[in-house]
Amino acid sequence: MRYDETYAKAYPFDKLVDDLFKPIMVEETVKLVREILAQDAVVYLIINNRAGGNAPMIAENVVERLLGK
């Protein structure tokens, strides 16, 4: 999807956008983070609003899954 299309769908970046946010992205991220942590490595995640409309909310989803909530 083009940047301007994604921006228009996500703006003003205050909620998760169904067309952009896919729960499978959270599941795949959690799986990858767990695999990396199992190797005693440090993990840094960069989450972009374009991934779902609101990066902080996406981060909350990832953390909740990592903590088993």
Summarize pLDDT for 5-30 with one digit per residue, the tens: 888 999 999 999 998 999 999 999 99
The three-class DSSP label of residue 36 is helix
Q: What is the pTM of this model?
A: 0.84
> How does residue 69 score in pLDDT terms, banded at 50, 70 and 90?
confident
Q: Please report the pLDDT score of residue 64 as a whole number.
A: 96
Q: Shortest CA distance to 66 belongs to which of 39, 28, 40?
A: 28
The per-residue pLDDT of the chain, averaged, comes to 93
d(CA 69, CA 67): 6
48 versus 30: which is more confidently predicted?
Answer: 30
Spatial distance between the Cα atoms of 59 and 25, rounded to a whole number of angstroms: 11
Would you say 25 and 61 are in contact if contact means Cβ atoms under 8 Å apart? no
